[in-house]
Amino acid sequence: MPTWPWAGWPPNSSANASASTRTPCACSRACRCAAASRTAYRSTPTIYRFYEIVQVYGSTLKVLVHEEFGDGIMSGINFKVTFDKLEDPEGGHRAVITLDGKYLPTRPY
């Protein structure tokens, strides 16, 4: 069985069993929630790859948005996602995921 770069995967691994017995930080509920969200990306290989894509391409996408639209952000509230499955000419399939967010220009206060 291959060694996975994140704890608790695959689900039936011994690492997953030990993860369920760990005690969370006792300082506060908010702290436990923050710790859980930091490790949420390790839950499945697909989620891990989405985080990896943002880490690798995020700064480039930010620059492209600023070059095309000016200073501002893409809304995560007024937002649509489309998903398509295409045949890969080299064999197999490709996933096409489109992120469609409203552009919100930065406004001076």
> Does 49 participate in catalysis according to the annotation?
yes
d(CA 93, CA 26): 46
Is-catalytic flag, 67? no
Positive or negative: CA dihedral 76, 78, 84, 89: negative
> Active site includes 52?
yes
Q: Which of 18, 59, 75, 94 is catalytic?
A: 75
52, 87, 94, 107: the catalytic one is 52
CB atoms within 10 A of CB 34: 11
Catalytic residue among 18, 49, 59, 94: 49
Kindly write down the DSSP assignment for every residue of 23-40, as one continuous string. Answer: PPPSS-HHHHHHHHHHHG
Residues marked as catalytic? 49, 52, 75
